[in-house]
């Protein structure tokens, strides 16, 4: 059987893994700031939309506002008398409503008002005619077969909105609300206050609780539930209460640890992992390597590698001080020197992927074969050989540079005097 030739690795200068780590770091930072930025932009857009709505309301004048309100009241009365939802009558939800898009219309945007839910920080979110996917992509919708959100007895407005969207909170934290909490509707020149008195989770086709109830002024907020699964509907119903009446729970904040908090927490955690990985790739493996010599060697040449070890001739380095001291004793005996007169030169390898090399990560059969074949001999195929030290029980690595070219890839760091090192300190030169 032909002997398998060792692989020679020559890679381009910039590491793919380094590039990948940088990309991961950028993505993680982007994920962290994305929900913050887009929610800020959505908030700014809401402010502009409300300002534009108020401006348009002022431009049409009080007479037109009264006319629009009167039309809406008539619309709600007609809806109650002719299109009332009563589950027992099996009235279809998709029954058309005459002139729907013209009621409460003050401009061409389709915006009929806005909603505020202080306890989950929903601030001035626009309410639009209709409940299509396009409308729900803009803000809060209005179910056409429900009463218009202008208040009044015998009315029940149904306002749906999305949840779980990172780019706009909308009704994401609706599930945090409790009975007794409040929300506000701002339509035309009206500000209406509703106190929550019913919260339920139903199947999408269970609509009986959305019926108009005689003598009551109700508004139901609707969103998909649970967030991300969306196979149910969360219905939060409030009944009209006096605007001047202060409820005990108005100042309670419900969403300190809401959906957006966990999105940002997860993004921050990903960013942390990305940065740790980046730092590990760029700096974590830049470990010190030690070489025993009778002098300080700033610019080594191959003849300085007087030690012949496991991987044959070459300039030997190790990442272990323990193995370095073992080499020191061997070197002292061979050269008949006092070990305390020797030096431990410290280096770091740089850009080794440009070198032809053979790396043994463990004490494998190939590692053993290489030692048996090359011990005491040269290796003309590889500029660098890395692998576990034969004499060490632990996974201590030794690095053998076998060409003058390879020696250009080591960086001198400092020199340690053995005698002084044993006494403490011992750095005699450092760059």
**5 DSSP 8-state letter:** P
**409 DSSP 8-state letter:** T
- Nearest Cα neighbor of 319 from 412, 421, 399 is 399
Helix (H, G, I), strand (E, B) or coil at 329: helix
- Nearest Cα neighbor of 299 from 220, 411, 390 is 411
Between CA 268 and CA 140 the distance in angstroms is 30
- For 7, the enclosing helix (H) or strand (E) is none
- For 398, the enclosing helix (H) or strand (E) is strand 397-401
Output phi, psi for 38, to 5 deg. Answer: -70, -35
CA 72 to chain centre: 46
Q: Assess whether the previous peptide bond of 226 is cis (omega < 30° from 0).
A: yes
Q: Do the beta carbons of residue 33 and residue 167 sit within 8 Å? A: no
Residue 175 burial (CB < 10 Å; 0-12/13-18/19+)? buried
> Mind telling me the catalytic residues?
162, 224
Place of tokens 């006319």: 67
């Amino acid at each position: 059987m032909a002997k398998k030739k060792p692989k020679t690795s020559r890679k381009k200068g910039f590491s793919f893994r380094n590039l990948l780590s940088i990309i991961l770091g950028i993505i993680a930072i982007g994920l962290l700031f994305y929900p913050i930025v887009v929610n800020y932009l959505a908030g700014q857009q809401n402010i502009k939309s409300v300002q534009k709505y108020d401006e348009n309301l002022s431009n049409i004048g009080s007479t037109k506002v009264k006319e629009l309100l009167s039309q809406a009241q008539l619309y709600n009365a007609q809806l109650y008398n002719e299109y009332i939802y009563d589950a027992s009558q099996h009235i279809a939800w998709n029954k058309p409503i005459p002139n729907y898009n013209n009621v409460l219309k003050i401009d061409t945007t389709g915006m009929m008002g806005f909603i505020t839910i202080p306890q989950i920080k929903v601030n001035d979110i626009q309410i639009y005619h209709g409940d299509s996917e396009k409308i729900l992509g803009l803000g809060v919708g209005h179910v056409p077969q429900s009463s218009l959100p202008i208040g009044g007895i015998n009315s029940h407005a149904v306002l749906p909105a999305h949840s779980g969207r990172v780019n706009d909170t909308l009704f994401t934290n609706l599930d945090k609300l409790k009975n007794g909490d409040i929300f506000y509707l701002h339509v035309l020149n009206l500000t209406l206050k509703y106190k929550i008195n019913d919260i339920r989770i139903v199947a999408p086709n269970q609509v009986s609780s959305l019926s108009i109830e005689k003598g009551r002024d109700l508004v139901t907020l609707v969103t998909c539930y649970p967030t991300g699964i969306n196979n149910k509907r969360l219905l939060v119903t409030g009944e009209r209460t006096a605007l001047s009446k202060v409820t005990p729970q108005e100042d309670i904040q419900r969403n300190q640890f809401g959906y957006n908090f966990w999105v940002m927490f997860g993004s921050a955690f990903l960013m942390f992992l990305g940065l740790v990985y980046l730092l590990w790739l760029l700096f974590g493996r830049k470990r010190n390597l030690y070489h025993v010599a009778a002098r300080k060697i700033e610019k080594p040449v191959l003849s300085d590698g007087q030690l012949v070890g496991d991987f044959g001739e070459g300039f030997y380095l190790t990442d272990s001080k323990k193995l370095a001291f073992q080499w020191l004793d061997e070197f002292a005996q061979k050269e008949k020197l006092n070990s305390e007169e020797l030096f431990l030169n410290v280096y770091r390898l740089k850009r080794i992927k440009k070198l032809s090399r053979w790396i043994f990560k463990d004490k494998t059969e190939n590692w053993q074969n290489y030692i048996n074949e090359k011990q005491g001999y040269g290796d003309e195929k590889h500029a660098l050989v890395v692998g576990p030290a034969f004499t060490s029980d632990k996974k201590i690595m030794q690095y053998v540079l076998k060409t003058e070219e390879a020696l250009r890839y080591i960086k001198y760091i400092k020199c340690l005097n053995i005698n002084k090192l044993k006494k403490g300190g011992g750095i005699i030169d450092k760059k």
